[in-house]
Structure 1
Amino acid sequence: MGQLTEYPVMRKRRGLASGFVGLGMGLVLGLILVNYRSSTSPLLGSHVNSSRPTPSARSSGPGPVDLRESDRINASASSLVFVGVMTAQKYLDTRAKAVYETWVSSLPGRMAFFSSESSTVPESCPELPLVPLPKVDDSYPPQKKSFLMLQYMWQHFGEKFEWFLRADDDVYVRTDRLERLLRSVDSRRARYIGQAGRGNSEEFGLLSLEYDENFCMGGPGVVMSRETLKRIVPHIKYCLKNLYTTHEDVELGRCVQKYAGIPCTWSYEMQSILYHNSSGDQAFTGNLKRKEVHRAITLHPVKSPPHMYRLHNYMRELRIQELQHERVQLHRDIQTMAKQLDIGMDRLQDYILAKDVPLFPIKSNSEDYLGDTLMLGVPAGLRAFKPSNAKEVVPWDFLSRSEYSLADSNPRRRIHSDVKEGLEDITREVMASINACSRQRGRVVEERSALYGYRRVDAFGADTILDLLLVYRKYRGRKVTLPVRRHVYLHQHFTGLEIREVEDLQEVDVSQQRANEKSLKNILRGGFLNLNFNGYQDSDPILRKTIHFVLPLSGRYEAFQRFLNNYEDVCLRNNERTQLLLILYPEGTGNSFNKSLSLVQDLKYRHPGAVIEVLHGSREFSRAKALHQGASTLQDEDLLFFIDVDIAFARDALLRIRLNTVKGRRVYFPVVYSQFDPRVVLSESSPRQETFAVDETLGYWRQFGFGIVSLFKADYLTVGGFDLSILGWGKEDVDLYEKMVKSDLNVFRAADTQLVHVFHEVECDRRLPSAQLSMCKGTRADTYAGTVQLANLIYAHPEYLQFAKTRREKITNPAG
C-alpha cells in the first residue's frame, strides 16, 4: 500500500520534470527551425526544386529571392508590389521566360511564377523564380492554382509589400505606369482593382452574381491591396469548396465580395488602362502605334514570346522618346534661366553652380556628353530658325489628300509613308494631351479627320500646322455633342545624332572592339615579332569582301575606255579588293571587239596583280544572258555587282556595296543619279559638267531603274536568276527586282551620289516587244532634261508648242 501511495507521487514529479524538459527542447527546436527558415529563401519555402541556383548566385536578377530585412512597407522603392504570375510547366521556357526577360526587369518590387507541383526550372532560364505549388496540377481552369497562389503570397510576403498583382503569363505590364498608378492610391484601404465584368451575353445570369456584384477579369491583371489580401486569405479554403462556376476570376471576385466587402472597380477608364485585345492570337502582332497601346498599363494577351520581346522593345523606344523630350525641356530651362541671369551662352559649358559643382560635369569630348544647350535649348516655336536671306527661307509643304511641295520638280504627289506616319503620331499625342484631364472635366474630345495642314523641316526640327475636325462630347451634367475645328501648331526639335556600328546587320560593340584592338597591339607590337598593323583592310570584316564586277558589253568602245580608266583609278590604284569579269559580245560593224580586248591587255600589263577575266558572248546581245553567264563562273560565296558600262563610280560607293549586301539576308539596289543631255541643260559658255555633280537641273534619280544591283551569287540562285527569254534592251532588271521583293530577302534601296549614269544617246530598236520599246522610249525622254528646263525651252521657242499642237491634231484627226 505504501507502494501504491508513492507511485502516483513519483509519476507526478516525473510529469512536471518531463514537461519542463519538453518545453525547453521545444523552444530550442523552435529557435533552430526559425533560424533555419530565415536562412533559406522566403519565396521558395519547402517546395522549391533543388536544382535551382542559390539566392547568392542570382543576386543580380530582379526576382524576389533577394528580399532584405530593410524591405518593409513604404520603406523601400523595391517593396511596392509583389507580382504572382500563373503559368504551367509547358510554358516555362517560352512565355514565362519571355516575361522574366522583358518587363520584370524594371518591376518596382518582386515577382514569382506559380505552377504545378511537378514543375521544374527550365534549363534555358535557370534564374527563373519558380514556386511549384503542392497538390496543384496544370489542369484548366486553374482555380486551385489561383487561390493557393494568393495564400502563398500572403503567408510569405504579406508584411513586405503594399500591393499584390495576380497576372497571367501572356500579359505585358508597363511597370513605370503601374508604379505611378499604385502610388496615387491609398494602399491602407481594401482595394480590388481591375477591369470589371459580369460575363458575356451567353453567360449573363448563369454566374450566380447578384445585381450589384461583379468580378475583375483575370486576363489583363488584378491588383489587390494588402488589406484585401489579409481579409480573404483566411477564407480561401471555404471559397475553394464552394465554387459556383468554372471561371477562376469570377470565383475570386465572389470571394473578395463576400469577405473583403468590396466589388471590382466600376470604372470605364479601366478598359483602356488594363487593356484586353479581343483579337486572340493575333493581338499585338500588327501595328503598335495605336492609342490603345500607348494608353495602357497592361496589355493582354501576348500569346507569342517573340511578340512579347517586340512589344517590350517598342515600349523601350517610347521611354527613350520621353527621356529625350525631358532632356530638351531641361536644356530649354537652362537657356531661359541663363538669359534671366544675363549669363552668356558661351559661358554655359564651363559654368559653376557652386563650389565643385559644375553645371555640365561631362565635357563635350565625352560620349556621355549631355548636349549643346545652344542647339537643344532653342525655345519651342515655329520661328526657331531665322533665315538671313531669301535663299535660306524654308518653304512649307501643303498637305491634304495629296502633298504639294515647291521644292520638288513634281509638286503634287501622294503623301509618303514616313510623313503619313509622322502626322498620325502627332495627332495621337495631341489628342492624348487634350484628353489628359477629360475625366475630371466630364468631357472627351474625339478626332474625326485632318482637313489640311502645312509641314516643313529646317535645321532645328520639323514644324507642323494642322486643321483638325474634332467632336466635343460632354457627358457630365448637361450632355452636349458638338463638331469643332481646331488648329494645331507643333514644333518637333531634333535631339542629336544617335550612331551605332553594324557589321552584316549585327551591331558591333565599338568600345569592346577598340579595347581588344588596343590590347592586341600592345601584345604583338615591338619585340622579336615586330608586327605591322597598317593592314586595316585585312582585319576589317566588311573591307575584306571582294566585289566581283560583272560587266556586259557590246560595242561602246569610248564608253568602255572611260569605264576602265575609272576602274583603274578607284580600284587598282587603291588596292581595293575587286575583280572585273567582262562578258564581251562582238559588234556587227567596226572593230570595237578587238580594240576592247587591247584595252584589257594594256590594263593587265600595267597592273599584273589585277584579276580581270574576259568571257566571249555568242549570238545576239542579251543583257540577261550575259550577266547570267558571268555569274555562272563564280562561287556561291562571291559578292556580285551587276554594272553597266555607262556607270561612273567613286571609292565610297564600294564601301556602301559591302555594307548593304549581306548573304542570305539583304540585296542592294542603289538608286543611281542619271545625267541629262548636256546639250540641253548646259549652255555653250558653261564649263564642262563634273561627273559627280548632283543637281536637279543637271540630272535626275532613276527611282525606277533596277539594273545596278549587288548581291551574293547564292541569293541570285535562290530567287531563280534572270529570265533568260528576255532579249535586247530592258525588262530583265525589273523581273529580277520583283523576284527579290517576293522572296524572303530584304531589298535595300538608297540614293548613291557616287554612282552616276553618264549621259549617252538612247537608241530604241523598233523590233523590241511593245513593253520593252515603251520602257526604252520613256527612258530616252527622261534623259533629255528636267521639267523646269523643258518648260523654259518651250517658253523661249513658241514654235515647239505650235509644232506639237499641229502634230497632235494630225494624229487625232487623220482624215483632216
Structure 2
Amino acid sequence: MARRKKLVKVVLGVLVGVLISQFSNREHTCSQSRPKAAAAAPPPARSDDNLVFVGVMTAAQYLDTRARAVYETWGRKLPGKVVFFSSEDSYSDQVPLVALPDVDDSYPPQKKSFMMLKYMYDHYIDRFEWFMRADDDVYVRTDRLEELLRSVDSRKPWFIGQTGRGTTEEFGTLSLDSDENFCMGGPGVIFSRETLKRMAPFVEECLSNLYTTHEDVELGRCVRRFAGISCTWSYEASDCDCKMQVILYHNQSGQAAFTGDLKQKEVHRAITLHPVKQPRHMYRLDKYVKALQVQSYQQEKIELHRDIAASMEELGFRIRNLQNASLVEGLPLFPESRGSEKYLGDTSLLGLPGRLTRQQPRNVDDVLDWELISKTLYSWRDLNPRRRIGSCLKEGLSDVVRDIMEVINSYSKQRGRVIDFKEILYGYWRLDPVHGVDLILDLLLVYRKYRGHKMTVQVRRHAYVQQTFTEISIREVKNYDFPYMSQRSSTTAAIPVHQKLVKHLVSTFEQIPPILHPSPPKKQEVINFVLPLSGRYKIFRRFLKMYEDVCLKRQEEAKLFVVLYQNDRSSDFLRSGALIEDVQRTYGSDAVVAIYTNETFSRARALERGLSLLSGDDLVLFMDVDMIFHPRSLQRVRQNTVKEKSVYFPIVYSLYNPRLLNRTYPDNYSFFTDDIVDEDSGFWRQFGFGIVSLYKSDYVGLGGLNLLISGWGFEDVTFYDNAIKSSLRIVRSVDPNLIHVYHSIECDINLDAAQKTMCLGTQANMLGSLKQLQKVYERYEEVVVS
C-alpha cells in the first residue's frame, strides 16, 4: 500500500509540477527596469524560494540574446531569484534587469562586479542564504546547485568557486602571496550570507586599491582581506564529489565549447558549465539536461515497478497478473487502464527483476545469441564474424560505462577513494526487442585511494548490465522557435502553424534574388564501364538488356567497353558479338565498344585493354557480368569518386545458392530489387574488391593491376592493398542497388595456394547463411557424419 501511494504521489507530483510550470510560463510578466530608476525598486523575491540569489553580469548588447537565453532556461528553475546587471543606460523588457548607476559595459568589468555585490548586500542580504556571481555565458544545473547549497552551513563564511592562481605567464604579477588564491569568475562564484556581510560594506575601498585588471583576482583579494577566507578547493560532502574544478566546470575550447557531443562525463558531473557563447547552444544544453532528468525519472519509475512486483510476489501474486490485481476488494492495484493519462505502466514488463535469465526461450529460435565485443565486434549475423564496432554500439557502450562509473563513485568521498575507467577489455551483449539489452563487460579500472594507506592500482571488474525498454510513448511537440530569434511579446496570441509556414516561405522567397540569366544544369561525369567477358552468353544478354534500360534509354552519361575473349565455346563468343552489334545499330557505334581477343583469359589484362582506349581524366568503373546495378548506383559512383582524392570500392550484396533456398533466378534483371536484400537471401561481400571506380590517372598512379596473375581472383586484393598504402582516400560503403547474382565457381586445382584458398572460401560463403546450412545439417546429419 505504501509503495502504491509513493508511486501515485511521484506521478501526480510530476504532473502537477508540469501544469504549474506551464501556467506560470504563460502568465509570467517580465520585471522591467528603467535606466537608473531600476536600482531603487528591485523586483520582490518569492518568500518560498529564498535559497540563492544569482546576479548575472551582462552588457546592453547581450540583453536580448545571451541574457534572455539564460533567463528562459535555467533562470526560471532557480530555487531563489536571478537578476541581470548591466550598465546604467541599459533597458530590457525581456529579463529582470538592474541598470547600475555610473557603471558602463567596459572590460574588465571590475566596477560592475563589485557594485553588483553591493546591490545584493543592500537589498537582499537578509532574504537569501546564498549569493552567486555569474556571467551571461554560464549554464547552471539548478537542481544540483540546490543539492550542494543545502548540504553546506550558510551561517559560516564560504567563498566557493574554481580556485585559481593565474597562468604561468602571470605568476608573480598578480600580487598574491604564496598562500593566496582567488575564485575564477567564469564558472561562477558563490558567497555565503556571512561572507557577503563581511565583504560588501568595503567594496568601494577595494575598488580604490586595485592591483591588476583581473576582476576575479581583485574580488578574491577583497574577500581575503575583509572576510578572512580564501577560495574553497573542495567541500567534504557525504553524497557528492565536490571538487570545484569538477562541479564548476570551465571548458578550455573557447567558442567551440559545448557545441559538439554533450555526452561527456564533465557535462554529467558539473553544476555549472562555462562558456556557452551562443544562445542556441544554451537552449540546446538545457534541452539535453532536461532529457537527463527524464531518464532519471524513467529509472525511478522502473525501480518503483520492481518494488511493486517484489512486494506483490510476497502476497502471492504473479507478475503477469498484476494489471488486474486488487489490494483488497474494491481497491485495484492499478485503477487506471492502458490508454488513460493516469496509466502507471505495465508492471509485467517494467517490474521484471534484473537478472540475465529473465528471458526464457520456448524453442531454439527464441534463444538469444551473444555477440563478443573486443577491439572489434564478433557476430554470428554474417559469414564474416569479425566486424567493425558501429557508431551506435560505441555510443551505447559509452553511455553504459559512464552510468556504471557514476554508480561506482557515488559514495567515493566517504570511502576516501576514486575509481577511474580505463578501457573495456572484452564484453558480451545481446538484444531482446521485448525486454531490452543485456551486457557483460570486463572493465579495466584504476583504483586510487587517497586516505590512510594511499595507493594507485589497476583492477579488473565484471559488470552485469541490463537496460530495460520502457513502453513506447508518443509526445506531441509544438512548433518552436528559439525565443531570442523572435521579438513577439509574452502577451501575443499564438500564431497557427499553417500561418507560420506561409510566413516563413514568403520571407524565404523574398530573400532570393531574381535569376536573370539561368545557367544550364551541370553535365554529369561520363562513367566508362570496363567489362571482361569470356563465354557466359545468357548472363551477358541479361547484363546488356539491363545496361540498355538503365543507361542507353535513359540517356545516362555512360559508355560500355566489353573485352570479349574467344574460347572453346565459340557459339557464346559469336552470339555475344551479335548482341553488341544489335545495340550498336540501334544506339550508335559509341554506345558499346567491343574489344576482341583470343588470349588466355586474365581479368587484369582485360581491364588494362579497356583502359588503353581512355584518357587520364576519364572516370572508370570496373564491372562484372554477374552484377545488377541501378541508376542510384551510378550516382554513388560519381559522388564517391574524386580525381586525385578518393577511390570507391562499393560493398556489393551477393546472393546465395538458389537451390539451397528452393528458388530460381530468372534471366530478367528486374527480378532483383531492393526487396531481395535480406539476411536469408545473401550477404554483404565485405572482402570483395573487384568492383571499383576511379580515374585512369589515379589507376596509373597506383601502379595498376598485377598482370602476372592469371586464373581466378587475387588481382583485386593486391590492387586494394596498394590503394590503402597510397595517399588516396578509400571509400567503402554498402550499396543495396549493386547485387551480385549467384553463379557456381570452379576452383582450378592448378591455382597457387593463396588463390586456391580464396576461391574455396568464396565458394563456401556463397552456399547459404549459417541458419540455412544448420537446417541442411540437421536434415542430413546422418549422411554428413557418416
- TM-score band by shorter chain is 0.5 to 0.7
Query: Partner of 1:433: helix, strand, or coil?
Result: helix
**TM norm structure 1:** 0.59
Residue 190 (structure 2) aligned to one of 209, 223, 236: 223
Cα 1:629–1:249, aligned 2, differ >3 Å: closer, same or farther?
closer
After TM superposition, give the deviation of residue 172 of structure 1 in Å: 2.5
The Cα offsets for residues 318-362 of structure 1, whole Å up to 9 and x where unpaired, read as: 334333323332333343344344266345179799879954465
Q: Measure, in 2, the Cα distance between the counterparts of 1:340 and 1:566.
A: 69
Counterpart code for 2:323: L
Instruction: Tell me which of 436, 440, 447 is aligned to 1:461.
Output: 436
Partner residue of 1:86 out of 57, 68, 72:
57
Q: What is the CA-CA distance between 1:217 and the residue it aligns to?
A: 1.9
Q: Deviations over 1:276-316 (max 9, x none)?
A: 33455555466544433321111223445565555445434
Q: Distance in 2 between matches of 1:129 and 1:357?
A: 48
1:125-136 equivalences under 5 Å are 127-136=94-103
Q: In structure 1, the residue corresponding to 2:443 is in which secondary structure?
A: strand
Does the C-alpha gap of structure 1 residues 400 and 648 become closer, same or farther in structure 2, counting only changes over 3 Å?
A: closer
Distance (whole Å) between structure 2 residues aligned to residue 94 and residue 41 of structure 1: 15
- CA distance in 1: counterparts of 2:67 and 2:451, whole angstroms: 43
1:332 is the counterpart of 2:332: no
Where do residues 263-412 of structure 1 align in structure 2 (5 Å cutoff)?
263-267=230-234, 269-281=243-255, 283-284=257-258, 288-303=262-277, 308=282, 311-341=285-315, 342=317, 345-346=320-321, 348=323, 358-360=334-336, 363=339, 371-406=345-380, 408-412=382-386
Segments of 5+ residues of structure 2 without an aligned counterpart are 1-28, 236-242, 482-493, 500-526, 565-572, 596-608, 640-647, 667-671, 706-714, 747-754, 778-786
Q: Which residue of 2 aligns with 1:435?
A: 409
- Where 1:243 maps in the other structure, the secondary structure is coil
Q: Do 2:30 and 2:94's aligned partners in 1 also have CA atoms closer than 8 Å?
A: no
How many Å apart are 1:128 and its aligned residue? 4.8
The structural deviation recorded for 1:581 is: 9.1
* 1:688 and 2:660 correspond: no
- After superposition, the C-alpha distances for 1:662-693 in whole angstroms (9 at most, x for unaligned) are xxxxxx999653214x3xx746x955369656
CA distance in 1, matches of 2:594, 2:89: 73
Amino acid at match of 1:675: L
Q: Does 1:168 align with 2:168?
A: no
Q: 1:150 is matched with which residue: 106, 117, 122?
A: 117
Q: How does 1:190-229 map to 2 (within 5 A)?
A: 190-200=157-167, 207-209=174-176, 213-229=180-196
* Structure-2 separation of matches of 1:643 and 1:350: 66
CA contact (8 A) 2:322 2:333 kept: no
Cα distance, 1:222 vs structure 2: 0.8
CA distance in 1, matches of 2:560, 2:654: 24
Deviations 1:27-61 (A, max 9, x none): xxxxxxxxxxxxx9866254489xxxxxxxxxxxx
Cα 1:779–1:172 change in 2 (3 A) is farther
Cα distance in 1 for partners of 2:326, 2:334 equals 6
The CA distance in 1 between the partners of 2:680 and 2:278, in whole Å, is: 52
Provide closer, same or farther for how the CA distance between residues 301 and 444 of structure 1 changes in structure 2, counting only shifts above 3 A. same
Q: 5+ unaligned residues in a row in structure 1: which ranges?
A: 1-39, 50-63, 507-511, 518-549, 572-577, 603-613, 631-641, 662-667, 710-715, 764-775, 797-816
> For 1:84, what is the secondary structure of its paired residue?
strand
Q: Which amino acid aligns with 2:105?
A: D
* Equivalent residue, structure 2, for 1:784: 763
Map 1:399-798 to 2 at 5 A: 399-406=373-380, 408-413=382-387, 415-459=389-433, 460-496=435-471, 672-676=652-656, 678=657, 682=659, 686-688=662-664, 699-703=682-686, 752=736, 756-759=739-742, 784-786=763-765
Alpha-carbon distance, 1:781 to partner: 7.9
Secondary structure (helix, strand or coil) at the match of 1:239 reads helix
Tell me which residue corresponds to 2:145. 178
For the 8 Å contact 1:283–1:301, the answer to whether it is kept is yes
Matched, 1:235 2:202: yes
Cα 1:183–1:566, aligned 2, differ >3 Å: closer, same or farther?
A: farther
Q: Number of matched residues?
A: 638
Residues 493-544 of structure 1: per-residue CA shift (max 9 Å, x gap): 2335578999xxx9xxxxx9x9979xxxxxxxxxxxxxxxxxxxxxxxxxxx
Displacement after TM superposition at 1:422 (Å)? 3.6
Letter in 1 for 2:339: K
Of residues 200, 203, 216, the one that matches 1:249 is 216
Decide whether the 8 Å contact of 1:277 with 1:301 is kept in 2. Answer: yes
Q: Distance in 2 between matches of 1:114 and 1:736?
A: 61
Residue aligning to 1:22: none
Query: Does the Cα contact within 8 Å between 2:323 and 2:333 map onto a contact in 1?
Result: no
User: Cα distance, 1:274 vs. partner?
Assistant: 0.9
Give the aligned partner of residue 21 of structure 2. Answer: none
SS of the counterpart of 1:339? helix
For residues 142-179 of structure 1, what are the alpha-carbon distances to aligned partners after superposition, in whole Å with 9 as ceiling and x for unaligned?
A: 11010122233444555654433211233232223223
Matched AA of 1:363: G
Could you say what secondary structure the match of 1:182 adopts? helix
Q: Is the 8 A contact 2:134 2:186 kept in 1?
A: yes
Looking at structure 2, the residues matched to 275 and 169 of structure 1 have their Cα atoms a distance apart, in angstroms, of 15
SS at the partner of 1:178? Answer: helix
- In structure 2, the CA distance between the partners of 1:734 and 1:445, relative to structure 1 (3 Å rule), is closer
Distance in 2 (alpha carbons) for counterparts of 1:779 and 1:622: 26
For the 8 Å contact 1:196–1:267, the answer to whether it is kept is no
Residue pair 1:584, 1:593 contacting (<8 A) in 2 also = no
User: Is this contact kept in 2: 1:43–1:156, CA < 8 A?
Assistant: no
Cα distance change on mapping 1:104 and 1:702 into 2, 3 Å: farther
Q: Deviations over 1:435-485 (max 9, x none)?
A: 212222222233444444333333422222233344443333343455543
State the secondary structure of the residue aligned to 1:255.
helix
SS in 1 for 2:56: strand
Larger Rg: 1
On the 8 A contact 1:88/1:115 being kept in 2, the answer is yes
**Alignment RMSD, CA only?**
6.4
Within 1, Cα distance between the matches of 2:133 and 2:690? 59
Matched position secondary structure for 1:784: helix
Contact 1:448 1:470 in 2 (8 A): yes
CA gap 1:595/1:413 in 2 versus in 1, 3 angstroms: closer
Tell me how far apart the structure 2 counterparts of residues 92 and 111 of structure 1 sit (CA, whole Å): 14
* 1:209-228 CA distance string (max 9 Å, x none): 56665432212101223454
TM-score by length of 2: 0.61
Counterparts in 2 of 1:778 and 1:319: CA distance versus 1, 3 Å: farther
2:33 aligned partner = 44
Distance 1:362 1:215, change over 3 A: farther
The answer (yes or no) to whether the contact 1:395–1:407 under 8 Å persists in 2 is: no
Tell me the SS of whatever aligns to 1:426. helix
State the identity %: 50
**Structure 2 contact 680–769 (Cα < 8 Å) conserved:** no
CA distance 1:721–1:358, shift in 2 (3 Å): farther
Q: Deviations over 1:226-245 (max 9, x none)?
A: 45434443332222223233
Q: CA deviation at 1:427?
A: 3.0
Q: Shift of the alpha carbon at 1:271?
A: 1.9
